[in-house]
Amino acid sequence: MEFVFRRSYRGGLKAAILDWAGTTVDYGSFAPTAAFIRVFASHGVTIELAHARAPMGLMKKDHLRAIARLPEVAARWQAAHGRPCTEGDVNAMFAEFVPLQIEVLADYAGLIPGTLEAVRDFRAQGIKIGSTTGYTREMMNVLVPEARRKGYEPDAWVAANDLPAGRPYPWMVYRNLIELGIFPAEACVKIGDTLVDIEEGLNAGLWTIGVALSGNELGLTQAEAEALSPDTRATRRQEITARMQQAGAHFVVDGIWQAGAAVSAIQARLAQGERP
């Protein structure tokens, strides 16, 4: 046989899987950082904001573990305790972290500008809205109602501890697609503000859109971001875009308010038979 049949999907996008903090809520992704800093401080170890942000997007226990493994933090832990940070230490810190995080989540539940408009535009195109997160279900039980009160409610959401592993594993994305009744994977796009968001989407076989300025990579409030000089903003955008593209992002936008153009570009590529 000289020819082999190969199916090629030519339909449009069916689902957008959105991240939460830094993508749809909490401009700058600040809710987790203060809690991480406080937890390490309670164990006699000082960490900086950059340490707290470095593993952003992971399930929060994985995030704590990743912070503790950063060389500078590991050295400080060794100096403070005379031994490396253990899994028991991580478990103890996570037990402290959960109530601290829940305590402040409602304060950081403000919608990022453009979220409602983007969701409305996606739904007008027949695109369902799913979501994944580094937050646990206990945390999401606080955040989801707060977002709903502000007008945002995805069609499905999955928490990081609902499945055996969170990002960068694709399981949360797969659970979203099951709940939404959506296939194939190439008919879906993942939108998020961290490199692990991009990795999650790629591992699941989705198109990916990175968010450069409203999330963890820039790490500024909306007011701080808008106060940047044009040259500084352009430089930071270029640096973040390069990191996201290196991680495999198909498109990078400033914020969800720009996602519509990237979605239209993906629709055009799908119509030509392209896959992620």
pLDDT tens, 72-92?
Answer: 999 999 999 999 999 999 999
Q: Is the pLDDT of residue 137 over 60?
A: yes
Instruction: Report d(CA 269, CA 133) in Å as an integer.
Output: 27
Domain 31-107: what homologous superfamily? Answer: Putative phosphatase; domain 2 (1.10.150.240)
Q: In Å, how far are 132, 145, 220 from 155, measured between CA atoms?
A: 12, 13, 29
The architecture CATH gives domain 15-30+111-271? 3-Layer(aba) Sandwich (3.40)
Same fold, 15-30+111-271 and 31-107: no
Residue 169: band (very low, low, confident or very high) from pLDDT cuts 50, 70, 90:
very high
Q: Is the pLDDT of residue 5 over 80?
A: no
The closest alpha carbon to 264, from 198, 206, 209, belongs to 209
Residue 112: band (very low, low, confident or very high) from pLDDT cuts 50, 70, 90:
very high
CA atoms within 13 A on the CB side of 252: 23
Average pLDDT, the chain: 95
Supply the pLDDT for residue 56: 86
Write 7-11 long-range contacts (CB < 8 A, 24+): 8/273, 9/184, 9/186, 9/187, 9/270, 9/273, 9/275, 10/270, 10/271, 10/273, 11/187, 11/270
Is residue 59 within 8 Å of 197, Cβ to Cβ?
no
What average pLDDT score do residues 15-21 get?
A: 97
Q: Is the pLDDT of residue 13 over 90?
A: yes
Helices 115-124/259-271 angle, 10° precision:
20
pLDDT tens, 218-264?
Answer: 999 999 999 999 999 999 999 999 999 999 999 999 999 999 999 99
Instruction: Report d(CA 75, CA 77) in Å as an integer.
Output: 5
The closest alpha carbon to 143, from 163, 129, 157, belongs to 157
Q: Is the pLDDT of residue 71 over 70?
A: yes
- Which of 4-8, 44-48, 104-108 is the least confident region? 4-8
Paired tokens of 234: 């352009």
Q: Is the pLDDT of residue 4 over 80?
A: no
Supply the pLDDT for residue 176: 98
The region that residue 181 occupies, defined by phi over 0 for left and psi between -120 and 50 for alpha, beta otherwise, is left
Instruction: For the chain, give every domain's residue range.
Output: 15-30+111-271, 31-107
- Name beta bridge partners: 16: 129, 189
Residue 1: band (very low, low, confident or very high) from pLDDT cuts 50, 70, 90:
low
- Backbone angles phi and psi of 12, in degrees to 5: -95, 180
Give the percent of the chain with pLDDT over 90. 89
Q: Which residues are catalytic?
A: 19, 60
pTM for this prediction: 0.91
Supply the pLDDT for residue 142: 94
Report strand pairing: 207-211 vs 188-192. Answer: parallel
Residue 145: band (very low, low, confident or very high) from pLDDT cuts 50, 70, 90:
very high
What average pLDDT score do residues 55-77 get?
A: 93
Supply the pLDDT for residue 104: 87
What average pLDDT score do residues 94-117 get?
A: 94
Is residue 13 within 8 Å of 185, Cβ to Cβ?
no
Supply the pLDDT for residue 179: 97
pLDDT tens, 181-208?
Answer: 999 999 999 999 999 999 999 999 999 9
DSSP 85: P
Supply the pLDDT for residue 234: 96
